[in-house]
Structure 1
């Protein structure tokens, strides 16, 4: 009969988390940053502080400009590669990965919709040179998290602009170099007639209006602020925000967020696998019921990874189609299908990731429940509870239902 043991003392097996020697350099760089991030992840979580060390490493590796086109000095990585970086970072620290994802979403918006404007061209070159960090202010106290409406408006005085916004959350706003702000195009514009403005930190006044003492994703430092920004009219992206949101912000957000959540779930499952193997070594011949849970959790994670791969293929196809015929409108059916596909990506991955971590917790037992063990998954579980709330899944499901209603039936007959 095997002697009893303390589960928390089991040592995890080393996992093959290092990239192949002949793999792309950005992958190796992402793993180096993840190793820095994991060293500070628990302290970042406890103190609800910005992951300074990880972002110093990201700047050293020049990964903040990874998506910027080589035309402006960047690496020009496609969305699929950026998603993989997010997933790698999430193995180390979910807050670091989420901030990186949110930064790249803003980079994509500027590159897709401002790259023909001299001011924004100069900004992209500056981003590459200085490895600037971009944040966004899209929520507003009077309209909540409804991305598509604004109460505040751009005040124009000749070629100068001013914006004043009460934002309930600006993730890592106090640590960003630039903030992209949504506002009504003019004081006379409707709430949905919005523009997106790129504001520099030296031209922004941030008055803190709340703290960030949250359940999870504590390192994102998503505090509330009164934001007052000034600048030149050239800092307004020329594309209406409705188009920016549809074509870039939402699909890139859902894709990169899904990659982050997949990485968090994968790290939790790695801990569960290590616990299961260590337990098996100490109890040879014993059959553990945790094996069934492990198999089920692995299957859920594989479904998440497959779903993300499908979304990345769809994003590549949409990108190619838009660049092949930039002035052509996509067929309505294709646009509706792409939008509903992005929506279901977000809702399915955000829900399934939680299930994977819950299974990992059941496998690791008290060793996973306690903080400070090699198998702790409490931070993972708390971080992932934010996933269904980031653009609330209920709101997305309602929108998806409307999109599906508008799509033509592609089956063999009408209902």
Structure 2
């Protein structure tokens, strides 16, 4: 079977994207049903992506990576999502971490270089672990209960995280925590995923993104060197830094691209079905019927809107304060597109053996990523009204 060029380079990608990206999608789609049913970390998929050199996409060229821009990265995420959505989500988080850590002045160079070399040489993955059982999403404020205690040798980390995407496949966990200082610092402590005291509890049993391995992780007095406090600051500074980060734009654009990719996969199936399904009482393909032509046009319009918005955001044509709206609009339109398809396809679409039910379950997960709709709309309303809050 033909595969994308190896090793991956941005120059080669720019010349061969029309061939390479569909091949990546086809390869991953072949095992997507099996991956979904097994609901385990998709290790074979990441071995494949590593062979193609795609795990180095957001690593700086100075460290041997590709230093790809957002437009390139979002095309890769979309192609992977069209093939297998959970793989795309884990890959997206890995890309975000490398994009952010290599632009941070606080990360010790020896650690950022080590994380990069691990990815290049062995396909090592990294993700941030932020959400906690008691606090919920940190985007809504509050301090983490996961705590790094100072020791004579460095730190001792204790706490737990939920929705830890990629858990079993990670080499590095970038853990959001607080220090035990009187005025605590808040930020990230870099934890080797296989360090003594790291425990993964297999509790992820979601309807969608079933292979994302988003399990609970518990840290039982994990010993860390002093410089593994890689990016921490007093809380007010940490919150302001997070809100202004370039990574925010990347996150919104890539999440929108992922769920748009899922909707594109559903739409590709739908169009093939309309062009080939010929009921005996009709004597012509379903595509000949005005009803299905209208539905197809609705879907195409939603996906066209996604493309225009995501292109604009990736090209810096959207103000920073409106980026969350781009994520909300594109994920919502992706859900609507798949809903149109499922409704039009009828009963077979909800069969457990049908790819549409998997696409539908996966695309619905677009609603749960930070920021959620209520937060997006409140911020958009405040910006539109030029107010900073509400009175009761």
Q: TM-score range by the shorter chain?
A: 0.7 to 0.9
1:145 paired with 2:145, answer: no
Question: 2:46 touches 2:123 (CA, 8 Å); kept in 1?
Answer: no
Relative to the length of structure 2, the TM-score reads 0.84
DSSP 3-state at the match of 1:314: coil
Alignment CA distance shift 1:116-1:103 (3 Å): closer
* Map of 2:229 onto structure 1: 236
1:97 paired with 2:96, answer: no
Query: How far does the alpha carbon of each residue in 1:279-306 deviate from its partner, in whole angstroms, 9 at most, with x for none?
Result: 3697338534111111111001100111
Query: How far does the alpha carbon of each residue in 1:17-37 deviate from its partner, in whole angstroms, 9 at most, with x for none?
Result: x99x98545775554443332
Structure 2 matches for 1:182-221, cutoff 5 A?
A: 182-189=176-183, 193-203=185-195, 205-209=197-201, 211-221=203-213
- Counterparts of 2:169 and 2:227 in 1: how far apart (Å)? 24
Instruction: From 287, 291, 301, give the equivalent of 1:299.
Output: 301
1:174 paired with 2:176, answer: no
* Map of 1:223 onto structure 2: 215
Shift of 1:226: 1.2
Query: How far does the alpha carbon of each residue in 1:299-342 deviate from its partner, in whole angstroms, 9 at most, with x for none?
Result: 01100111111110128x9xxxxxxxxxxxxxxxxxxx40x211
Query: How far does the alpha carbon of each residue in 1:237-292 deviate from its partner, in whole angstroms, 9 at most, with x for none?
Result: 34644314530443222111111011001111111111111136973385341111
1:128 paired with 2:120, answer: yes
Query: How far does the alpha carbon of each residue in 1:125-171 deviate from its partner, in whole angstroms, 9 at most, with x for none?
Result: 33322221112210112211124531222212245122112212211
* Map of 2:379 onto structure 1: 399
* Map of 2:358 onto structure 1: 379
Instruction: From 338, 342, 346, give the equivalent of 1:361.
Output: 342
1:284 paired with 2:291, answer: no
Question: 1:72 touches 1:125 (CA, 8 Å); kept in 2?
Answer: yes
Alignment CA distance shift 1:56-1:393 (3 Å): same
Query: How far does the alpha carbon of each residue in 1:2-23 deviate from its partner, in whole angstroms, 9 at most, with x for none?
Result: xxxxxxxxxxxxxxxx99x985
* Map of 2:9 onto structure 1: none
Question: 2:160 touches 2:217 (CA, 8 Å); kept in 1?
Answer: yes
Alignment CA distance shift 1:159-1:383 (3 Å): same
- Counterparts of 1:351 and 1:162 in 2: how far apart (Å)? 42
Structure 2 matches for 1:69-88, cutoff 5 A?
A: 69-88=60-79
- Counterparts of 1:202 and 1:189 in 2: how far apart (Å)? 30
Alignment CA distance shift 1:184-1:279 (3 Å): same
DSSP 3-state at the match of 1:168: strand
- Counterparts of 2:59 and 2:276 in 1: how far apart (Å)? 44
- Counterparts of 1:189 and 1:210 in 2: how far apart (Å)? 35
- Counterparts of 1:117 and 1:267 in 2: how far apart (Å)? 41
Question: 1:26 touches 1:63 (CA, 8 Å); kept in 2?
Answer: no
DSSP 3-state at the match of 2:218: strand
Q: How many residues align?
A: 366
Question: 2:107 touches 2:231 (CA, 8 Å); kept in 1?
Answer: no
1:262 paired with 2:243, answer: no
- Counterparts of 1:204 and 1:169 in 2: how far apart (Å)? 21
Bigger relative CO (Cα 8 Å, ≥ 6 apart): 1
Range moving further from structure 2, 294-303 or 164-173: 164-173
- Counterparts of 1:287 and 1:258 in 2: how far apart (Å)? 32
Uncovered stretches (5+) of structure 1, i.e. residues with no partner = 1-17, 318-336, 409-415
- Counterparts of 1:366 and 1:259 in 2: how far apart (Å)? 28
The alignment's C-alpha RMSD in Å is 2.8
Question: 2:58 touches 2:68 (CA, 8 Å); kept in 1?
Answer: yes
Shift of 1:404: 4.1
- Counterparts of 1:35 and 1:277 in 2: how far apart (Å)? 20
Instruction: From 27, 45, 59, give the equivalent of 2:50.
Output: 59
